[in-house]
Amino acid sequence: MEAFLNNIVKAIGWSIIHSLWQGAIIYAILFLTFLIWPRMTSRLKHNLAFGSLCFTFSIFCYTLLSLFEIPATGNFKSIAISQNDLKDLAVFSETLNLKTEAYFPVVVSVYIVGIIFQLIVLLSGYIKIKQLKKASRIGIPENWRIVFDMTIFQLKINKKVKFYLSEKVNVPLVIGFFKPVVLFPISLATQLDPKQVEAILIHE
């Protein structure tokens, strides 16, 4: 069991180290793409950036699985080297690896704690969003409904989008992707004319 845990720690540790240069290369390619193509649409930029994040995570997982499959006994000592210079290089590499791996328990522990913390934050945010969607909502005025329907048509949005006034929000926001809901602060309902509402809706 101890050897199994050590193997996991080593695999995660090396995967974290490799993800640094892997992520740097992906970021550089993405940055150059944006630089060469400055008139790229916001939607395409978003999709490329999101795809890059997913690709980086996929490479991390692939690296983790690949390293975890390496036998624990596999190291430089199993390689027969006759030349003194190559032997010294192998010894130096092995020593460097051992020194690096000595910090892996701390690095992996911090990494796992960070993941758990982010999951808690994500879950907390999700619960708050669900509460906002289920909170008391007020129907929008009819003139706002006309502006909203026209905005949906102009933006060529095929999904059914709901629009409500809410006392629980301070700024306009959109919640959900598959069943989007637009929530508008009720405090602003009497302060804005339809043109201003249209501008805010287009932004959202």
Q: What is the pLDDT of residues 61-115, one digit of tens each?
A: 999 998 886 544 444 444 444 455 445 545 545 666 777 778 888 989 999 999 9
Give the per-residue pLDDT at 105: 87
Tens of pLDDT, residue by residue over 16-45, are 999 999 999 999 999 999 999 988 888 899
36-66: b or e for each residue (b if 16 or more CB lie within 10 Å)? eeeeeeeeeeeebeeebeeebeebbeebbee
Q: Which of 163, 173, 160 is nearest to 140 (CA)?
A: 163
Give the per-residue pLDDT at 4: 76
d(C-alpha 134, C-alpha 26), whole Å: 40
Give the per-residue pLDDT at 52: 95
Say if CB 76 and CB 93 are below 8 A apart.
yes
Give the per-residue pLDDT at 78: 42
Give the per-residue pLDDT at 89: 46
**Which whole-number Å values give the CA distances from 201 to 166, 174, 175, 184, 196, in the listed order?**
15, 10, 13, 10, 9
Tens of pLDDT, residue by residue over 150-173, are 888 877 777 788 888 877 777 778
Tens of pLDDT, residue by residue over 1-20, are 677 788 888 888 889 999 99
